[in-house]
Amino acid sequence: MAYHSTLKKRIKNNELIGVEYVENYLGSNSRLLLYFNSEPKIRPILHHKIEEYKELLENINTKFEQFTKQISPVQF
């Protein structure tokens, strides 16, 4: 639980700089990758947890200009 609480707090603190959906993450199932401006810079989110992040990510303007076809900051 602390993992997700910490990530959500970092998002609210404007540390998030990008989001990417990856179908095959390190040989495993799909993940939502959150990119932050400080360490740890990349944090994976399991597919079944993505819905929890939807509201937080809807109105975020990121520095990344490209997102995969499967995900964007507005639609999941």
Percentage of residues in the chain with pLDDT exceeding 70?
75
Task: Supply the pLDDT for residue 59.
Answer: 65
Does residue 48 lie in a domain region? yes
- CA dist., res. 25 & res. 59, Å (int): 26
Report, as an integer, the average pLDDT of 17-44.
Answer: 90
Does residue 70 lie in a domain region? no
Does residue 12 lie in a domain region? yes
Does residue 73 lie in a domain region? no
Mean pLDDT of the chain: 79
Does residue 6 lie in a domain region? yes
Does residue 44 lie in a domain region? yes
| Structural domain count, the chain | 1
User: Peptide bond preceding 40: is omega within 30 degrees of 0, i.e. cis?
Assistant: yes
Task: Supply the pLDDT for residue 74.
Answer: 47
Higher pLDDT, 27 or 64: 27
pTM for this structure?
A: 0.72
Report, as an integer, the average pLDDT of 4-8.
Answer: 94
Range of the domain at 10: 2-58
